Amino acid sequence: MSFEIHHCAYCGIALPARPPHRAGRPPRYCTAAHRNRAHRERQWRRLEPIPVALEPLPSPASTDELLAATVLETKAAAATFARLGLTARREFACRCEATARDLERIIDDHFPGL
């Protein structure tokens, strides 16, 4: 016979002792509401984004180089979307072309001369 005191996995209060003749696993939660809340919290934890380790901030000189490289990569992405607009299925072709135009316009508006 075990005299272990079980606690609710959600709130931590002591659960009432079960009769020794009762079959099955002992309860983990004091109420169905706590069982449901614990389940919902587990679901939310699974949906939370995994934190990404950020690289250390670069020096100002390398920031300019990084910015120029990012602008160049964005222009390359715009060119890829434009190229895909020529070969993609009809329902995606217009979206690819619009994305290419928008990326080019945004880069030209915000970073003229780069």
Sign of CA dihedral 12, 16, 18, 24: negative
State residue 36's pLDDT score: 94
If DSSP codes are grouped into helix, strand and coil, which group holds residue 14? strand
Confidence of residue 27 (pLDDT cuts 50, 70, 90): confident
Whole-angstrom distance, CA of residue 6 vs CA of residue 49: 33
State residue 26's pLDDT score: 84
Q: Which backbone phi and psi does 16 adopt, to 5 degrees? A: -65, 150
Does 49 score more than 80 pLDDT? no
Does 1 score more than 50 pLDDT? no
| Domain contains 43 | yes
Sign of CA dihedral 72, 74, 99, 97: positive
The total number of residues shown for the chain amounts to 114
State residue 97's pLDDT score: 95
Q: Are residues 27 and 67 in the same domain?
A: no
Report how many domains make up the chain: 2
For residue 32, what are the domain limits?
1-48
- Asked whether the whole model's pTM tops 0.85, one would answer no
Mean pLDDT along residues 66-89? 92
Dig out the tokens for 46 from the structure: 């699974």
